Amino acid sequence: MTKEEMQNEVAKILCEKNSDLTCDECYKSKKDIDYICKNSNHCRISEKTEKQLQYILSSINESTFLEACPGSGKTEVVGMKSAYEIKRWDSNSKNGMAILTFTNDATSVIRERANQFSKKTSFYPHFIGTISSFIHQYIAQPFGYSEINYSGIDGDYSLKLIDADLNAVTNPWLKKYKCSIPYIGKNGKRTDIFANQIFYDEKNRNFYIKIDKIYLSINEYYDIQQMQKHIKDSRKKFNNNYYYSNSYFYNEFKKCKNNFLKDGFATYEDMNCIAYQILDNDTIVKKISRKFPLIIVDECQDLSWIEIEILNKLKEKGTILHFVGDINQSIFEFKEIALESEYTSEYIKRLKKLELTDNFRSCQPIVNLSNKLMSISNTIKGIEENKFLENSVLYLEYENPEEAVTKYLRILNHFKISESKSCIIVKQNILKNQLLCNINDNERHLLISSIQLWGKENPNSKKKSLEYAGKQISKWFGGARSKSSYYCPKDITSVFAWRIFLKDILNDCYINSKLINYDRKYGKWYCDARKELPSIIKKNYCKIQCFDNLIRDFDEIFSSKWYIGKDVQEDILILNSELKNNDSAIKISTVHGSKGCTYDSTLVISSETAKSESGHWKSHWIEGTDEDRRVGYVASTRAKFLMIWAVPTLGKKDKELIEGYGFQNGNTIV
């Protein structure tokens, strides 16, 4: 079919277009009435590419994988495909299709699209929701009680979902489900293990425990040094060489978990296992397969092994699967499940493949760079305008991450890119939190940074404000101790009194209209500061004078060149340290949190060393494993016009390497 023929076929179903009209003529005749193109500047169907239309018209009798590059408009396409099939569906049928997502936000977006295109408010008998809610609602909850021998309460057989992070201190009822085997840490400290911390892995046929950030199979736990010591000591104590055998170990964890399940409790992980086991029942799996003859999964790269297996069991009984996503964007917050994507990659090879290769999000240089990171051979076209030509992909060298942020803000100012439409992307939450109160030229203009931070609600900002004020003001007191004491001068005997002194100075500065006027050049601010600060410091010094071993002549101090301005001809950079719902503030996100987002520009900050987990530009994003490189790929595909990597200071060979990937040196712009 030609593109026009495909447009007409879709329009005939979605908006009942007259066959004598073109899509554009139809749009002009209906744009002001309640049709799918209302409030749009063009026809919503004719704007679709050939490949998008091919998927919308693809067969629902053949399992398919739609490989969608970043920015390909796949959510819009899934919404239109859903609406197209809903309108074609037998209105008398009690069976329907399921459109599955991974988050409630994604569900809302697809529901909205399906509603726009189908003009239906009720989607019955179809289901649009998360994959977890689908598994719970149609498999685990209706049939799970029989699988785990739960007898129910007053005829209610629904299972009670329990969070894996729930603790027995605030939920003492959990103590009934304490495992007889404790967790023994490296320091020998024992911690109770409860049933909600025990999981069964169907893939590996083994139990696992998860305590805080520790995730171990019970086989691994059995073999660790501290457990082996405990077993050896116990066998010696009870004079029994068979005490704490492997089978005993396994059965104790199994018994603890089964008691939990039999009483009608289950974690999210348990619900998947229950559903997986239920679908071994031929009658049940056929019933669910008939109920949902078509299942579309958005962001299929996020499927776990067990979720794929649950869907595959339905497929084996007749359900058609449509997977939509990009395997190269398969990244996980936890390393222990990162290998799931390998199974997904193998599974989709069984499905018919269609592609979306137009990237409407990014300009071509950003597309070229991201493709090179993952060795993608497909021709991906960057549709967005290439505003900055060869400067669309830059690298910035830094001595510390805060310096990189400072340089980034200057580049945004240079290119006139809004901070509110930009994002700083990091791999670890630790670095994200570190930057929350450091996102300006803080080390260069300590008091300006300090006063701005003092007005923030974030406790970390207050602490950092005192630190910066102490570092600057201590210079006028003859030197300082250390950061931990807020740079209390060596001749002042009370760190506490010094901190109160700093607090009082900052309070006075923050109500001084001249010192909080940042809408000007640095030089003007420093000029006012030299006039205003002496009286503020003298006024508050009387409170700490009794703790000072020196007699200070402030008139002499303030008569010399005591406070020299920097960057006097540059505009003051406004601090955007807090990322709480502040529309004017630049955002900071982890790589995982940035998935699905679009920004005018991004700064992707590399860790300083390769010791980080998937966070180093060279060791991970360029030369790392597939999982490591996917992290760099996802982080580098969020920007429209400008994408920057911030990297630690480079040697000659590393500069040649990064520039070989298409990066230009952003330090020349700074």
Instruction: Dump pLDDT digits (tens) for 618-641.
Output: 999 999 998 899 999 999 999 999
Would you state the structure tokens that stand for residue 91, as one six-digit string? Answer: 């209105």
Question: Could you tell me the pTM of the whole model?
Answer: 0.76
CA distance linking residue 507 with residue 80, whole number of Å: 56
Q: CB-based contacts of 647: which residues, under 8 Å, 6+ apart?
A: 395, 396, 397, 398, 606, 617, 618, 654, 658
Binding residues: 68-75
Q: Do residues 397 and 430 both lie within one domain?
A: yes
Q: Is the pLDDT of residue 372 over 90?
A: yes
Q: Do residues 304 and 211 both lie within one domain?
A: no
β-strands 183-184, 190-191 pairing? antiparallel
Return the pLDDT at 257: 97
The answer as to whether 519 is a domain residue is: yes
Contact 102, 302 (CB under 8 A): yes
Q: Is the pLDDT of residue 39 over 80?
A: no
Residue-wise pLDDT tens digits, 196-219: 999 999 999 999 999 877 889 999
Q: Do residues 61 and 118 both lie within one domain?
A: yes
Contact 199, 207 (CB under 8 A): yes
The answer as to whether 148 is a domain residue is: no
Binding residues for ATP: 68-75
Domain's final residue, options 342, 359, 376: 359
Q: Do residues 470 and 390 both lie within one domain?
A: no
Q: Do residues 243 and 306 both lie within one domain?
A: no
Q: Do residues 109 and 171 both lie within one domain?
A: no
CA distance linking residue 359 with residue 595, whole number of Å: 15
Q: Which of 4-18, 158-172, 410-424 has the largest mean confidence? A: 410-424
Q: Do residues 126 and 40 both lie within one domain?
A: yes
Residue with tokens 């099939």, as numbered in its chain: 85
CA distance linking residue 369 with residue 645, whole number of Å: 11
Q: Do residues 46 and 128 both lie within one domain?
A: yes
Looking at residue 624, which CATH number applies to its domain? 3.40.50.300
Residue-wise pLDDT tens digits, 511-522: 999 999 999 999
CA distance linking residue 360 with residue 327, whole number of Å: 19
Q: For residue 186, which phi and psi values (nearest 5 degrees)?
A: -60, -30
User: Picking from 437-441, 469-473, 600-604, which range would have the lowest pLDDT averaged per residue?
Assistant: 437-441
Residue-wise pLDDT tens digits, 546-591: 998 888 888 888 887 778 888 888 888 776 544 333 444 688 899 9
Q: Do residues 132 and 21 both lie within one domain?
A: yes
Return the pLDDT at 371: 95
Domain's final residue, options 541, 558, 575: 558
The answer as to whether 625 is a domain residue is: yes
CA distance linking residue 480 with residue 498, whole number of Å: 11
Percent of the chain scoring above 90 in pLDDT: 64
Residue-wise pLDDT tens digits, 78-125: 999 999 999 999 988 999 999 999 888 889 989 998 888 887 878 999
> What average pLDDT does the chain have?
89
Nearest to 78 by CA among 134, 43, 118, 120: 118
CA distance linking residue 329 with residue 67, whole number of Å: 11
Structural domain boundaries, residue 22: 3-137+282-359
Q: Do residues 7 and 133 both lie within one domain?
A: yes
Would you state the structure tokens that stand for residue 5, as one six-digit string? Answer: 């023929």
The answer as to whether 275 is a domain residue is: no
- Domain total of the chain: 4
Residue with tokens 């007259």, as numbered in its chain: 18
More confident residue, 493 or 456: 493
Domain's final residue, options 263, 294, 315: 263
In angstroms, how far is CA 467 from the centroid of its own chain?
30
Q: How many other C-beta atoms can be found within 10 angstroms of the C-beta atom of residue 56?
A: 25
The answer as to whether 25 is a domain residue is: yes
Q: Do residues 133 and 26 both lie within one domain?
A: yes
Return the pLDDT at 613: 83
Rounded alpha-carbon distances, angstroms, from residue 86 to 37, 115, 594: 18, 10, 31
Q: Do residues 410 and 315 both lie within one domain?
A: no
Would you state the structure tokens that stand for residue 299, as one six-digit string? Answer: 């962001």
More confident residue, 322 or 152: 322
CA distance linking residue 361 with residue 163, whole number of Å: 37
Q: How many other C-beta atoms can be found within 10 angstroms of the C-beta atom of residue 232?
A: 12
Q: Is the pLDDT of residue 57 over 50?
A: yes
Q: CB-based contacts of 347: which residues, under 8 Å, 6+ apart?
A: 308, 312
Return the pLDDT at 340: 67
Would you state the structure tokens that stand for residue 150, as one six-digit string? Answer: 């739960």
The answer as to whether 569 is a domain residue is: no
The answer as to whether 476 is a domain residue is: yes
Return the pLDDT at 582: 44
More confident residue, 479 or 369: 369
Return the pLDDT at 400: 87
In angstroms, how far is CA 386 from the centroid of its own chain?
27
Nearest to 36 by CA among 7, 6, 70: 7
Return the pLDDT at 431: 80
Q: For residue 507, which phi and psi values (nearest 5 degrees)?
A: -60, -45
CA distance linking residue 117 with residue 76, whole number of Å: 10
Nearest to 476 by CA among 397, 423, 565, 554: 554
β-strands 265-266, 214-217 pairing? unpaired
Q: How many other C-beta atoms can be found within 10 angstroms of the C-beta atom of residue 191?
A: 12
Burial environment of residue 372 by CB neighbours within 10 A (0 to 12, 13 to 18, 19 or more): middle
Amino acid at 387: K
